[in-house]
Amino acid sequence: MNDKAGIPDSWILLHGHSTVDVFMNMKLLKNICDARKALSLHCNDGVTTVNKIGDLPGYSMVWFYEDGITNILSLNNVKKYHVTYDSTACDCFEVHKADGTISVFMPSKMLFYSSVNNVIVLVTTVEDNINKYTIREYSNGRKVHELQSIIFRPSTQDLINYVDKNLIQTAL
């Protein structure tokens, strides 16, 4: 269990907003080595430099950052495989790989795959924090997140600078 996030080290989260695959559990990877070029990883905690990669068996190369809080696969990257979702049958994402295996990502407020077994455990996420804010604060936060997506996902600090300098124009 990772004490930093309360998420088992064996879990692999399927993240719809992540643009990179990044793992913190070296036991899930093979051939960890220095990357040719470093990655500037933007996260809730700021920006960090990641300079290691490793092979996730049955998938491909992923970034390795041992100080991370969990193992993340970007849904956008996973789409290189056939991915299915049926909310009425299993309420899960299934990743169908070329070798015939299927990785099942179960809902737990975040979608995860247990590399050890299929035990479902609840994960404390941003959703749990929504109740800390008023409806207006939450709505404004969602609008800012949508704006970040529209303008090619600048870091939060860059977005603040854009707003402070009145660099974002709106069309009415």
Cα 169 to Cα 119: distance, rounded to the nearest angstrom: 48
Spell out, as residue ranges, where the chain has pLDDT lower than 70.
1-6, 44-45, 89, 108-133, 138, 169-172
Angle between helices 135-150 and 156-164 (to 10 degrees): 100
Cα 139 to Cα 145: distance, rounded to the nearest angstrom: 10
Predicted pLDDT of residue 22: 94
Its pTM stands at 0.61
Cα 70 to Cα 7: distance, rounded to the nearest angstrom: 7
Predicted pLDDT of residue 109: 59
Residue with tokens 């008023």: 134
Predicted pLDDT of residue 136: 77
Predicted pLDDT of residue 53: 95
Q: Please write the tens of the pLDDT for every residue from 48-89.
A: 899 999 999 888 899 999 988 889 998 889 988 888 887 776
Burial 110-137 (b: 16+ CB within 10 A, else e): bbbbbbeeeeeeebeeeeeeeeeeeeee
Which domains occur in the chain, in start order?
A: 11-123 (2.40.70), 133-164 (no CATH)
